[in-house]
Structure 1
């Protein structure tokens, strides 16, 4: 009878040890899977943020190229002078005085500059869409469990506010990339950390 009780007790102890071990292994596997899922989501969110920053840089560069270069300003000046001269000549031909032809010329030049200004503002508004995408991509990154990623995202958003400062924006993007790479790097196991 004692042997039977001893056998039952050892079976219960063995079963309890196996149950605890199985529970620990299951929990560890679940935690590792959750960690891998979180890392995958962070990579997707970081990619979306990077693409939005690149789109913003492209839109800003296109805006500079189309409207802010010295050649474009020279063309605008030349067109304004031509509009003024043409308007003044047309008024003079129609029998207007010097003052009237000057006023008509100024009106034509103002009309041309007004159209140029509207076109410039419409092109600058094209930057709004990449900014909106960047803000949308930044929202989940701001809730990241890694504080370095949150800080790098904040710095990147601040740098995007001054898109003309390309050096600052590129430095912030580089810092963001480093923070994301550090957060998504494979973590060493306890044994590997002890060996290192």
Structure 2
């Protein structure tokens, strides 16, 4: 009888140890997977933030180079000078007033055409950061946290109008808050229980 009790207690303690080991292994694996997911989310969020900053920089450079009042004034002045220079050259070559005017208009049109091409090339530079932002957003849209998905969607919508900086900044801030919340360390069951009982 003693041997039977000893055998039963050995089996019971062995089963308890096996269940405990399986539980600890699963818990450790789940925690590691959670840490890997949080790390990947941080990497994707950083890539998205960098792409948004690049896009803002490209848009600001475009505004500075082509859309400011000083630049518009410069373009207007250069156009007038091109017109006057073309008209003067035609007049010196013996052209009539009409011919001088037409040559002047031709010179001004050529200058404006070059300015337009250069402006379009600068605007095209925004395309690459925009593509990077879309690429960075793809894994974030598959995130298990719905707040991150919603904030990413809001940020992508704000990127459609880069000139609306207030909306873009607000969307970027909301995105940052959602990512910070999703990547914040998880409280243990005991810590949550203590917080509930103390609050």
- TM tier relative to shorter chain: over 0.9
Q: Does 1:194 align with 2:167?
A: no
Structure 2 residues without counterparts, runs of 5 or longer: none
User: How far has the Cα of 1:94 moved from its partner?
Assistant: 1.1
| Residue matched to 1:55 | 54
CA deviations on 1:67-120 (whole Å, 9 max, x unpaired) are 100000000000000101111111111111111111111110000000000000
Distance 1:162 1:38 in 2: 31
The reply on whether 1:114 has 2:113 as its aligned counterpart is yes
Structure 1 partner of 2:93: 94
**Residue deviations 1:13-60, cap 9 Å, x none?**
111111001100110011011111111111111111111111111111
Cα offset, 1:192, TM superposition: 0.7
RMSD: 0.7
Task: Extract structure 1 runs of 4+ deviating beyond 3 A.
Answer: none
Q: How do 1:108-147 residues align onto structure 2 when only pairs under 5 Å count?
A: 108-147=107-146
How far apart, in 1, do the equivalents of 2:71 and 2:192 lie? 60
Task: Give the deviation of 1:7 after TM superposition.
Answer: 1.2
Gaps of 5+ in 1: none
Partners in 2 of 1:64 and 1:180 — Cα distance? 31
What TM-score, normalized by structure 2, do the two folds share? 0.96
Output the TM-score relative to the length of structure 1. 0.98
5-14 vs 135-144, greater mean Cα deviation:
5-14
In structure 1, distance between residues paired with 2:142 and 2:5: 55
* Equivalence for 2:29: 30
Equivalent pairs counted in the alignment come to: 195
